[in-house]
Structure 1
Amino acid sequence: MIIAVIDGMGGGLGAQLVTSLTAQLGAKAEVIALGANALATNNMIRAGASRGATGENAILVSLRKADIATGPIGIIMANAMMGEITPQIAAAVSDSEARKVLIPVNQSHVEIVGLEPRPMGLAIREAVARIAEMVEEGNA
């Protein structure tokens, strides 16, 4: 099973996801890093991703093989992350057959209402727990 962690900016959230996923899942899944920029990709690889790729085309191509895609909710919003998420990346993630597990992070142009505010670490733990359930069930 392939889990694609997608992030931009400095890749901090993605790196936390990678660290937690690799610790929890071990060899049950391959965690790959897909960065909107080289810094994000590098930080996710340093966090333990098995491999990584950078940029729009790499994300578009790699998503085709992913069973699960995860990252901040901005990965499905065109022009999120200060423009790093291109309309093509947002569409590719949204249209991908991969199951999506998204972390609710407010963007400067989008506010998510109806969710209780929670520390980012807790949201990441919840996402990792849900992905682990999917892997165990084989429902990705």
Structure 2
Amino acid sequence: MRIAVVDGQGGGIGRAIVEKLKAALPNVEILALGTNSAATGQMLRAGADDGATGENAIAHNMKSVDVVVGVIAIINANSMMGELSPKMAQAIGESRAYKVLLPINRCNIHVVSVEEVPLSIHLDNAVRTIREYVVNHQGIR
């Protein structure tokens, strides 16, 4: 089971996701995919097993991961102040991977009917969802 964590800008949210996933699922491979090297570096320092940076790396790896996790903006072209390219958004959106998206209301996206709670609660909910998916689909691509 391979989980891709996609993040950009400073990589803080991606770092937090990686830390929580590693604690909850220590035997699952976590791939850090950053829109920039700072984000990738943050996720690697948090314990990701491998990492890659940029448009081609994100697009290429969407074919070989089972789960993709990040903020909802990762499926929106030109989000993250332009760091997430249309090619990245398309590759993530078209990926057959199970997508777990944090409802962070930025980048001109506002998700309605979602509770406004601290990021830590969203992170815990995402990790719980991924853990359930991994347990139910272990080894299935």
TM-score, normalisation: structure 2: 0.95
Q: Does 1:113 align with 2:112?
A: yes
Alignment deviations for residues 17-59 of structure 1 (CA, whole Å, 9 cap, x no partner): 00000111011x1011000000000000000000000000000
The AA in structure 2 aligned to 1:13 is: I
Q: CA deviation at 1:108?
A: 3.6
Which residue does 1:22 correspond to in 2? 22
Matched-pair contact (CA < 8 Å) for 2:30–2:49: yes
Matched-pair contact (CA < 8 Å) for 2:77–2:86: yes
The AA in structure 1 aligned to 2:5 is: V
Alignment deviations for residues 100-139 of structure 1 (CA, whole Å, 9 cap, x no partner): 0000111242222211100000000000010000111117
The AA in structure 2 aligned to 1:34 is: L
Structure 1 moving runs of 4+ over 2 Å: none
Structure 1: which 5+ runs fail to align?
none
DSSP-derived class of the 2:77 partner: coil
CA distance in 1, matches of 2:131, 2:109: 29
Structure 2: which 5+ runs fail to align?
none
TM-score, normalisation: structure 1: 0.96
For the aligned residue pairs, the C-alpha RMSD in angstroms reads: 1.0
CA distance in 2, matches of 1:121, 1:76: 21
The AA in structure 1 aligned to 2:105 is: N
CA distance in 1, matches of 2:107, 2:49: 32
Which residue does 2:81 correspond to in 1? 82
Alignment deviations for residues 36-85 of structure 1 (CA, whole Å, 9 cap, x no partner): 00000000000000000000000011111000000000000011110111
DSSP-derived class of the 2:91 partner: helix
CA distance in 1, matches of 2:89, 2:63: 14
Which residue does 1:41 correspond to in 2? 40
Matched-pair contact (CA < 8 Å) for 2:73–2:109: no
CA distance in 1, matches of 2:107, 2:14: 19
CA distance in 1, matches of 2:68, 2:122: 16
- Overall identity of the aligned pairs, in %: 45
